[in-house]
Chains A and B, each alone.
Chain A
Amino acid sequence: MNAIILSALCGVVMMFSGILLKNKSAIKYVAIAALLVLIIGNLFQFYGIYTIDIDSKGLLSFDRTGLFFNTIIFVATLAYFILSGSDIERAGPDVAEYFALIFFVLCGVTILTSFNGLLMFFIGIEILSIPLYILTGSDKKNLKSNEASLKYFLMGSFSTGILLMGITLIYGATGSFGLQSTTIKSAVTGFSSAGILAPVGLVLLFISMCFKVSAAPFHFWAPDVYDGAPSVFTSFMATIVKAAGFFAFIKLFAAKSEDFGPGPAWKLILFVIIVATLFIGNITAVFQQSVKRMLAYSSIAQAGFMLFALYSTNDFTKDGILLYTAAYSFATIGIFSILTKMEDYSLDGFNGLSKSQPVLAFTNTVFFLSLSGIPLTAGFFAKYYMLASAIKGGGSLSLVIIAVLFAAVSVYYYFKVIQAMYFKEGVAATNTPITGNFKVALIVLAAIIVILGIYPTALLGFYYF
């Protein structure tokens, strides 16, 4: 509850800081301070100290996993503010509003980690999505940004419609918005007594959530939106928002797994979606010339790996999704913060970066290694946990083999950037001078990724103790 109230309040504070403070860079420090308050407030609740406690009449329930996920998300946002704060300032005239909208997105995230019914789930999804439509279109003079915003808005509202339809059918079948399964399975057929309505509703929910996390047959909006939006906000959308979407997806379907009816059909649907997501994400990313667009497809490919958490739910899954969120978010935030500093977003724009900016090139290499899942980086254990959970959960070995093959494909296009930075001649120009603070922040982030890669229990230790 602390995090939900505080994040909304921080958003309001940010709105007014734009009016009260005339100095633009001061706004960034206000945002960082507000975020620190948010992190502390959330940690208070994580360790059982309820400073704000409102009876939500069973609509919200707080568990350690959700609160810990909140903490990861907030820390990732802190890294994002520190690294990309100055880019947010350059994104447009309404700096304070951008920070305010980001806080409102965080409010949506906190609801999505604590919902206890489809009603709050829906509200969380909407609070998460609506500020994003605005952030996507924040570059008002840029036609591509406008197009991306409108496209995102239309497609997003459409998928929200499908989500609502699914919720309606489930309500019709079970008579409650609750997460617990209220249907009684027939011993003979294996189908629940609610007949066809609840499964159809679940399928609609599933489709809509696949859309929100850009899983394969519903991914078409993602490359255009990620490419069209200002790069700073793409960074936020592709990491924090996507991870939160996954968390909600998994939380919802882990609770509803009783309603799935006979198991194999769902496993088959998930199998097809995971393979399609991995295939489309990885293969299309190979052919991209723009690094930004390549990262958009890579985020689809990473979504394929995160879907493993849905495929089988066991102890590994929970650890896996927490670790994957941290590994993927930190690495991608780092890459995007470097990308926004570059003059040219194409692969050739990175030529010779190791000569002109050795620190940027080195940290960028660490981030890309982590994304591709090379050992000694956080990405390795994140992928390991995901695949291990699929095998433990009575798994499909073929799915794991396919995933490993596509991880190998992803190495190809991630290493193209590393190759451009280290082995190609050129002058990689940055659009702003690189400050010392930025370099230090990058090194700290890279160090965190390496530490998580050597010692992943460092992160999970906080969760269990």
Chain B
Amino acid sequence: MTWLTLLLDVQDTSAASYLPIAIQLIFAAGFVAAMIGMSALVGPKRQTKDKLETFTSGITTHGDARQPMAIKYFLVAILFVLFDVEVIFFYPYAVNFRSLGWAGFVEVLMFVGFFLIGFTYIIKKGALTWED
């Protein structure tokens, strides 16, 4: 077992110290493969037409998913992600509100300012005018 203790306590950064990670990778892949393979081999199979259908929150599926969609949806989705990220940035600020003090407040104001500049730009370019 000396090699294992050596392995777990290596301080240097040689390639050998990455061996535990390699072992974990092999274990993870093996575990997933074994579980899926086991359930496929051992598990009962009673396939009916309803069971094989795509599950869409209990609603009956209809039509093909590959339909052309208006580009506006993507635009809204991208803008949503932007504003979502903005809100996420507020959380750490809110937690550290007191310790960051006025300097932090100015920095957050700057961040919001940059964001508003981008928002004005989007509106002025007409990215949110839906009617053609």
Interface: A172 (CB within 8 A): yes
Bitwise, A170-196 to B at CB < 8 A (1) or not (0) is 001111000000000000000001111
* B125 and A173 contacting across the interface, CB-CB below 8 Å: no
Find residues 86-126 in chain B having any chain A CB closer than 8 Å to their own CB: 117, 121, 124-125
* A173 and B13 contacting across the interface, CB-CB below 8 Å: yes
Interface: A37 (CB within 8 A): no
Interface: B18 (CB within 8 A): yes
* A197 and B13 contacting across the interface, CB-CB below 8 Å: yes
* B14 and A19 contacting across the interface, CB-CB below 8 Å: no
Interface: B50 (CB within 8 A): no
CA distance A193 to B18 in the complex (A): 15
CA distance A174 to B13 in the complex (A): 7
Chain A interface size band reads 10 to 19
Interface size on B, residues (CB 8 A): 10
Bitwise, B13-51 to A at CB < 8 A (1) or not (0) is 111101000000000000000000000000000000000
* CB proximity of B42 to chain A, nearest CB, Å: 39
Interface: B9 (CB within 8 A): no
Bitwise, A261-281 to B at CB < 8 A (1) or not (0) is 000000000000000000000
Interface: A16 (CB within 8 A): yes
Find residues 46-93 in chain B having any chain A CB closer than 8 Å to their own CB: none
CA distance A12 to B117 in the complex (A): 9
Q: Please give, as numbers and ranges, the residues of chain A lying within 8 Å of B16 by CB-CB distance.
A: 195
Cβ contact of B13, chosen from A12, A16, A194, cutoff 8 A: A194
* B121 and A16 contacting across the interface, CB-CB below 8 Å: yes
Interface: A15 (CB within 8 A): yes
Give the interface SS of chain A, mostly helix, strand, loop or mixed: helix
Q: Please give, as numbers and ranges, the residues of chain A lying within 8 Å of B125 by CB-CB distance.
A: 19
Bitwise, A15-50 to B at CB < 8 A (1) or not (0) is 110010000000000000000000000000000000
Q: How many residue pairs at the A-B interface have CB separations less than 8 Å?
A: 24
* B117 and A195 contacting across the interface, CB-CB below 8 Å: no
Q: Please give, as numbers and ranges, the residues of chain B lying within 8 Å of A19 by CB-CB distance.
A: 121, 124-125
Q: Please give, as numbers and ranges, the residues of chain A lying within 8 Å of B132 by CB-CB distance.
A: none
Q: Please give, as numbers and ranges, the residues of chain B lying within 8 Å of A195 by CB-CB distance.
A: 14-16
* CB proximity of B76 to chain A, nearest CB, Å: 21
* CB proximity of B106 to chain A, nearest CB, Å: 13
CA distance A196 to B18 in the complex (A): 12
Q: Please give, as numbers and ranges, the residues of chain B lying within 8 Å of A193 by CB-CB distance.
A: 12, 14
Cβ contact of A196, chosen from B15, B121, B124, cutoff 8 A: B15
Q: Please give, as numbers and ranges, the residues of chain A lying within 8 Å of B121 by CB-CB distance.
A: 15-16, 19
CA distance A173 to B12 in the complex (A): 9
Nearest to A182 among chain B residues (CB) is B13
Q: Please give, as numbers and ranges, the residues of chain A lying within 8 Å of B124 by CB-CB distance.
A: 16, 19
Q: Please give, as numbers and ranges, the residues of chain A lying within 8 Å of B18 by CB-CB distance.
A: 172, 197
* CB proximity of B40 to chain A, nearest CB, Å: 33
* CB proximity of B20 to chain A, nearest CB, Å: 13
Nearest to B126 among chain A residues (CB) is A19
* B14 and A194 contacting across the interface, CB-CB below 8 Å: yes
* CB proximity of B92 to chain A, nearest CB, Å: 18
Q: Please give, as numbers and ranges, the residues of chain B lying within 8 Å of A197 by CB-CB distance.
A: 13-15, 18
CA distance A196 to B16 in the complex (A): 10
CA distance A15 to B124 in the complex (A): 11
* A175 and B13 contacting across the interface, CB-CB below 8 Å: yes
Nearest to A16 among chain B residues (CB) is B121
* CB proximity of A198 to chain B, nearest CB, Å: 9
Q: Please give, as numbers and ranges, the residues of chain A lying within 8 Å of B13 by CB-CB distance.
A: 172-175, 194, 197
Q: Which residues of A contact B (CB under 8 A)?
A: 12, 15-16, 19, 172-175, 193-197
**18 A–B contacts, CB within 8 A, in A order:** A12-B117, A15-B121, A16-B121, A16-B124, A19-B121, A19-B124, A19-B125, A172-B13, A172-B18, A174-B13, A175-B13, A193-B12, A194-B13, A194-B14, A195-B16, A196-B15, A197-B13, A197-B18
Instruction: State the 7 A-B residue pairs at the shortest beta-carbon distance, nearest first.
Output: A195-B14, A19-B124, A195-B15, A196-B15, A197-B15, A173-B13, A15-B121
Q: Which residues of B contact A (CB under 8 A)?
A: 12-16, 18, 117, 121, 124-125
Given A195-B15, A197-B15, 13 other A-B residues pairs in contact with their CB atoms under 8 A: A12-B117, A19-B124, A19-B125, A172-B13, A174-B13, A193-B12, A193-B14, A194-B13, A194-B14, A195-B14, A195-B16, A197-B13, A197-B18
